[in-house]
A and B are shown apart, each in its own frame.
Chain A
Amino acid sequence: MDVTQRRHLLIEDLSVARGERVVFGGVSLRLDSGEIAEVTGPNGVGKSTLLRAIAGFLPLRSGRMSWAESEATDSAPLTERLHYVGHLDGLKSALTARENLEIGVGILGRSRLTPLEALDRMELAHVLDLPVGYLSAGQRRRVALARLLIADRPLWLLDEPLTALDRHARALLKPIVADHLGSGGLMLAATHEPLGLPGTIQVRLGAR
């Protein structure tokens, strides 16, 4: 990733409805290269919905969303420039961690680290050739997070990334996120437990 590259994600007055019910409205946010924002709020307030709407999985009810890169080599839409790790990990239990990650980079494109290197950053190199179905919930989570490292995408959308991770694994995630931000990446996380990185922008949903 090019450090001189400037990117930003601009969200203006976004609101999302599911069926007839407006989940949230009037969310505005500007995120620049190297910045991290944490979406907080009580359960059911629409944190996951916000991330899924930004990822393009949900239609917007109103508001605008724009993405710009200073040195865009191609005009790839936002959906091809972001990583999304949600509650469902997108892993196949019958396939090994290596196969899952190879498929991940095959589907997402723009490979960066190899599956072994990515798992090594998550201290999971020893499960490389084990079927993911054999892994614990925390280990599966770490394999899903390793996908962030195998495909080069500047915007990371993480929905409760710390769920099921033990204290050690949580500590592992912090330098990975810091590296990503340091190389010009952006991150938006919905979380109850702050990652504790300096300069985190707080987005509070449902605040009255």
Chain B
Amino acid sequence: MIRTLLVVFLRDLMLARRIGGGGVLGLVFFLSLVTIVPFAIGPDLRLLSRIGPAILWIAALLASLLGLDRLFQADHEDGSVDQMLLSPAPLELVVLVKCVAHWFVTGLPLVMLSPLFGLMLNLDGPALGSVAATLLVGTPTLTFLGAIGAALTVTMRRGGLLLSILVVPLTVPVLIFGVSAAQSGTVPFLTPFLVLCALGLASVALAPIAAAAALRGAGE
């Protein structure tokens, strides 16, 4: 069973590298959102550094949603899901592993480059650190929540938009606690950060069950 899960993980990384697109595109999208906001707001550096963490978080949320529609769709279309259903590993764990692989490709680069993008929004050192830390916990949460939407819309040809509409309301708590931890100053960092961690753990535990149920339904 462990071997099956490892194979699925390596397979998804290999496919992401071979097909390309996903991770890099998300990153470019993230960059373009962060670049465009200062143009809209104007040359007010103090305002920018105050709302910077929120901008980074919204950009990360949208960039995370971008690649999610293909998370299960490709495997559904070519019959790979059927093969996974025949494997010794339960579908819930396969879904979990696929989400982790997806996050490695799309979420992790976002987290790693967020301090660089934070500089463009005039964030200072501590703020850069807290934004990166909250994104490190928050982006996997977004991926797992998004997996529910991805599994529900797996049979739809243009499910991406519906997926976003379904998932965005679910991400509101993550956004609230993520941004309030990142905006150090108004509230202490630790309390919202711990709530964010709790949300993350809950999504890791529950979202694969929901997503697997939706995928099983789609196969019928």
Contacts and interface: CB of A to CB of B under 8 A. Distances in A.
B173 interface: no
Interface of A: 18, 52, 55-59, 76, 79-80, 82-84, 86-95, 99, 103-104, 106-109
Interface of B: 3-4, 6-8, 11, 14-15, 18-19, 77-80, 82-88, 219-220
Given A56-B85, A89-B78, A106 B4 contact: yes
Contacts of A93: 78
A95 B220 contact: no
B88 A76 contact: yes
Given A57-B219, A99-B14, A109 B82 contact: no
A89 B75 CA distance: 11
B87 A107 contact: yes
B15 A94 contact: yes
26 contacts: A52-B219, A55-B85, A57-B82, A59-B220, A76-B88, A79-B86, A86-B79, A86-B82, A88-B77, A88-B78, A88-B79, A88-B82, A89-B79, A90-B83, A92-B11, A94-B15, A95-B14, A95-B18, A103-B7, A104-B83, A106-B3, A106-B6, A106-B11, A107-B4, A107-B8, A108-B86
A88 B86 CA distance: 15
- Chain A interface, DSSP helix/strand/loop, else mixed: loop
Contact of A84 (B3, B6, B82, B88): B82
A103 B79 CA distance: 14
A79 B11 CA distance: 22
Contact of B78 (A18, A52, A84, A92): A92
A90 B82 contact: yes
Contacts of A91: 78
Contacts of A92: 11, 15, 78, 80
Given A93-B78, A94-B18, 4 more contacts: A92-B78, A107-B8, A109-B3, A109-B87
Contacts of A55: 82, 85-86
A120 B88 CA distance: 27
A92 B16 CA distance: 12
B78 A80 contact: no
